[in-house]
Amino acid sequence: MGKTWLCCKLAADAILSGHKTLLVSTEMPTSSIALRMDVLLAHSTGYELSHTALRTGYKIDEEKYKEFLQKTNFKNLLVCDHISGEDSISLPSITNLVRKYKPQVLIIDGVYLISTHDSNKAAWEQSHSLFYGLKTMALSTNTTVIASTQATRDAANMYTQPTASQVAFGDALIRASDVAVSMCMVEGEPKLREIAFQKYRDGDLGGREAEFIWDVDKGRIEENNESFI
């Protein structure tokens, strides 16, 4: 439904705001992430690129793409899709990356595939260790941590916001997070998404929801006409 696109959008906004950002993806190679980032950053800086065209090599305006790349050489973005010498990406390895590169923002795409090296523990204990481990790391390194997960098969309706029990590691995520946001599709509107706040530790939610334009081919992910209600 688009969690990787959302992570890339958050990373693009972070680096455009001048924040050093580390994007860790457990499911997608850096080459695929780079294409998404190019399209999102192009849209945000006044260029128009097509993700489909970049991915397929069909009808690319090479001069405009070259101009964009020359003008937007962001050096405050680090992307990781594997850890050298490890079979999987683990919580300790992410912590080591954060301590080494000192990003201001850490974004994890697919947190449910992060290993805690606690294979002997039950799944709920592993998820508790993961999210509270990330929270401890965030506090100790003064890093903003954003993590994405996905709905399970129990959330059969793509047009309804999932509950915590319908999300991979949902209960642990809700308990450990300061802010929790969910996303679902809008029926009959393939280029719209509904965003809802499930938790906001420092304030009253008041049922806040928003509708977002979701035209990922053009890199256009943005709030639709101030639709918070």
Rg (CA), the chain: 18
Task: Report the CATH architecture of 3-178.
Answer: 3-Layer(aba) Sandwich (3.40)
Residues 6+ apart with CB under 8 A from 140: none
Dist CA 87 CA 228 (whole Å) = 42
What ranges do the domains of the chain cover? 3-178
**Residue the block writes with tokens 């309706």:** 157
Q: Which pLDDT score, from 0 to 100, does residue 229 have? A: 41
The strand ranges marked E within the chain are 21-25, 77-80, 105-109, 144-148, 179-186, 189-200, 209-215, 220-223
Mean pLDDT per 10-residue interval, the chain, length 229 residues: 90 96 94 95 93 88 88 88 83 94 96 79 78 94 95 80 84 89 92 91 71 95 70
Q: What is the pTM assigned to this prediction?
A: 0.90
pLDDT at 228: 44
